[in-house]
Amino acid sequence: MNNRRETLKQGMTLAGLLASTGLFPQFAWAYNKTAFDAKSVADVAKAFGVSAPVASKDVTITGPDIAENGAVVPLGVSTSMAGVKHLLILVEKNPSALVAMFNVSDAVESSFSTRAKMGQSSDVYAVAITSDGKALFAKKEVKVTLGGCGG
């Protein structure tokens, strides 16, 4: 039960992040993510039904558990699903969450890797936007360690 609530909460957080990019107005209802606390998440999600971003095994995020340096964090997004229009990489705690958006075509595999800056430890999301406007996601936590000597 807890686990399901956790997942729904992540969906809400992500909806907020997606809306904040300005690219996906369909998620704007969740823009003010602070409005949703853990307790009410299940109810809110019920009200909005399937349009909430949902966790999916068909979407994969790859990245390190610990990044030795936040300036370069290797992240990858991929999906096994058909009918995906965009693949996105987001870092929740970055000043602007969206790192990169890849437009999927028949000519390339739905799998892309790049490297992102992360200001601090954060959840990172891989999101697949389908041609009918749904958002499916996978997430993982990446810890950013303090580097060598300096401050």
* Residues in touch with another protein (CB under 8 A): 3, 64-69, 71-74, 76, 91, 94-96, 98-103, 105-109, 111-118, 145-151
**CA 54 centroid distance within chain:** 10
Distances in whole angstroms, Cα of residue 100 to Cα of each of 21, 24, 36, 75 = 11, 14, 26, 10
Q: Which is nearer to another protein, 47 or 66 (CB)?
A: 66
**CA 125 centroid distance within chain:** 3
Min CB(43)–another protein separation in Å: 23
Min CB(29)–another protein separation in Å: 23
Q: Which is nearer to another protein, 25 or 35 (CB)?
A: 25
Q: Which is nearer to another protein, 35 or 120 (CB)?
A: 120
Min CB(91)–another protein separation in Å: 6
Closest CA relative to residue 76, chosen from 39, 119, 111, 35: 111
Closest CA relative to residue 138, chosen from 84, 94, 96, 68: 84
Min CB(138)–another protein separation in Å: 12
Q: Which is nearer to another protein, 15 or 73 (CB)?
A: 73
Closest CA relative to residue 135, chosen from 126, 144, 143: 126
